[in-house]
Chain A
Amino acid sequence: MVDLGLLTDDQLKAKLLQYGVKAGPILASTRFLYEKKLKRLLDSSAQHKINGTADAGLYSDSEEEDDEEQDSDEEQDSESEQLLSETKPRTETSKTASRDLTRLDKDTMTSKSLCLTSPSSRQKQTIREPASDVLSEMFPDAERTPTGIFATKRRSIKGAAGRPVQFKYPELPLLSPTILERQEIQQRLVPLWVQVIVFLMVVCLLYIIYSCMDEQLSSPFTALLDGLHESALTCISSFTGA
């Protein structure tokens, strides 16, 4: 490993930036701390590497055999997405560390990737399966759409247009004050017929009084009216006589 003590301040700062650490001024009082921090980051990323994570898998794609070349092209894109989604829950430093490390690895360790192809391909598969199956596990009944977007119908809101509360709650007696008023009015409607009959009788009487007048209208209806008038008069005379 590179001796951190031999790095210049700028180099140390640049290295820390590679790991996503925005270092302050590298002074006499701070230098030691930053060296320690960088050392810790290097050790942790080395741990990452040794455990054979998918990071190595990314770069073994380029060294893979012909059989897996076709698959690797497809897998690379999905893998990078997975990696991004997987690394999201991890802390920022480790995420950038792994990404940066892979960049370093690509430059320096192409031979190493050959050794790692077999475990990485296995790991690749295992990593791939859970990521793609998550959605299908969650929604086993859903059909696959071309865009991968699933839209489900929203539950209807109670009391919205077309779904009034009445239908939602049919068991309620629905004794609202307006309904009670209407019932009261209906009770009053019964004598309304009596009122109509009385009104008609009054109209008839008025007709008779009008016909008693001397004026006579020359219209075709007068004959009819005269006939009615005579019949009404006879009725009244019979009633008054009896």
Chain B
Amino acid sequence: MSSTSQKHKDFVAEPMGEKSVMALAGIGEVLGKRLEEKGFDKAYVVLGQFLVLRKDEELFREWLKDTCGANTKQQGDCYSCLREWCDSFL
């Protein structure tokens, strides 16, 4: 499909640890701030939400849209980033 960004590659390459939510692919400053306001200040919290939704693409995308107003591309980037991370490390 589309090529992955550098951010995606960096995120997927290692355990996320205490990385900020802005380290996620598709989540920039604006979206990151909105997520932090909602309480999702670390990447692992978003991961938690992703897992609670049973890694369902549709639900996660919708949740992202509702929570921080991500557009389709951003939703897709974030979803694929998290999914790949889970495939490697979970």
Question: Which residues of chain B have C-beta atoms less than 8 A from A33's C-beta?
Answer: 53, 59, 62-63, 66
Check if B1 is an interface residue, CB within 8 A of chain A.
Answer: no
Check if B72 is an interface residue, CB within 8 A of chain A.
Answer: no
- Which DSSP category, helix, strand, loop or mixed, fits chain B's interface? helix
A29–B49 alpha-carbon span in the complex (Å): 8
**Chain A residues within 8 Å of chain B by Cβ, number:** 12
- Once the chains bind, are B62 and A30 in contact (CB under 8 Å)? no
- Interface-centre pick from A24, A32, A34 (highest chain B CB count, 10 A): A24
Digitize A18-35: 1 where CB-to-B-CB distance is under 8 Å, 0 elsewhere.
000011110101101110
Check if B90 is an interface residue, CB within 8 A of chain A.
Answer: no
Check if A112 is an interface residue, CB within 8 A of chain B.
Answer: no
Question: Which residues of chain A have C-beta atoms less than 8 A from B52's C-beta?
Answer: 24-25, 27, 29-30
Question: Which residues of chain B have C-beta atoms less than 8 A from A29's C-beta?
Answer: 49, 52, 63
Shortest beta-carbon distance, A26 to chain B, in Å?
A: 10
Shortest beta-carbon distance, B67 to chain A, in Å?
A: 9
Question: Which residues of chain B have C-beta atoms less than 8 A from A22's C-beta?
Answer: 54
Check if A122 is an interface residue, CB within 8 A of chain B.
Answer: no
Question: Which residues of chain A have C-beta atoms less than 8 A from B63's C-beta?
Answer: 29-30, 33
Question: Which residues of chain B have C-beta atoms less than 8 A from A128's C-beta?
Answer: none
Shortest beta-carbon distance, A91 to chain B, in Å?
A: 12
Task: Tell me the residues in window 28-64 of chain A with beta carbons closer than 8 Å to chain B beta carbons.
Answer: 29-30, 32-34, 36-37
Digitize B31-54: 1 where CB-to-A-CB distance is under 8 Å, 0 elsewhere.
000000000000000000100111
- Once the chains bind, are B62 and A36 in contact (CB under 8 Å)? yes
Shortest beta-carbon distance, B66 to chain A, in Å?
A: 7
- Once the chains bind, are A24 and B53 in contact (CB under 8 Å)? yes
Question: Which residues of chain A have C-beta atoms less than 8 A from B62's C-beta?
Answer: 33, 36
B56 nearest CB neighbor, chain A only:
A24
Shortest beta-carbon distance, B24 to chain A, in Å?
A: 17
Pick the residue among B54, B56, B66 that contacts A32 (CB under 8 A).
B66
A29–B39 alpha-carbon span in the complex (Å): 11
A32–B49 alpha-carbon span in the complex (Å): 13
Shortest beta-carbon distance, A220 to chain B, in Å?
A: 105
- Once the chains bind, are A24 and B66 in contact (CB under 8 Å)? no
Question: Which residues of chain B have C-beta atoms less than 8 A from A32's C-beta?
Answer: 66
A29–B52 alpha-carbon span in the complex (Å): 9
Task: Contacts A29-B49, A32-B66 given; indicate if A37 touches B59 (C-beta within 8 A).
Answer: yes
A22–B61 alpha-carbon span in the complex (Å): 17
B59 nearest CB neighbor, chain A only:
A33
A33–B53 alpha-carbon span in the complex (Å): 9
A68–B7 alpha-carbon span in the complex (Å): 66
Q: Which B residues are closer than 8 A to A by beta carbons?
A: 49, 52-54, 56, 59, 62-63, 66
Q: 16 pairs across A/B with beta carbons < 8 Å? A: A24-B52, A24-B53, A24-B54, A25-B52, A29-B52, A29-B63, A30-B59, A30-B63, A32-B66, A33-B53, A33-B62, A33-B63, A33-B66, A34-B59, A36-B62, A37-B59
